[in-house]
Amino acid sequence: MGHAVAYWVIVIERISVYGLLGVLFSFLLPGRTAVACSLVISVAIGLELAQLLIPDGVHAFTDVLQKTAGGIMGVLVAQTILSFLPRPPA
C-alpha cells in the first residue's frame, strides 16, 4: 500500500524531469537543437518500450507524449538561454 498521488503531480514530475534532461542535452550540444530533441525523444520512447519487458510495468502512449513534450520544452528553453550568452572567442 502506498500513498495515493494526484495524477497532475505525476504529469508535472514527468514533464519537469524530461525538461531537465532536455536542458542537459542542449548544454551538451549547443546549437544542435534537432540532435538534442532527437535524443530526448529516443530516451522517452526507449524507456517506455523497456517497460513492456516488465510484467507489472505501466506503459501508455500519453506517458511518451508527456515526456517528449517536457524534453522538447527543456531543449527550447536551454537553446534560448544559450543564444543570449556570449560566444567564446574562436
Rounded Cα distance, 27 and 55, in Å: 36
- pLDDT, residue 87, reads 81
Average pLDDT over residues 59-69: 91
Q: For a pLDDT cut of 70, what percent of the chain falls above it?
A: 97
pLDDT confidence of residue 57: 73
Burial class (CB in 10 A: 0-12, 13-18, 19+), 40: buried
48: Cα within 13 Å, side-chain hemisphere: 18
- Model pTM score: 0.85
Cα(63)–Cα(15) distance, integer angstroms: 10
Domain boundaries, the chain: 23-51+74-80
Confidence of residue 51 (pLDDT cuts 50, 70, 90): confident
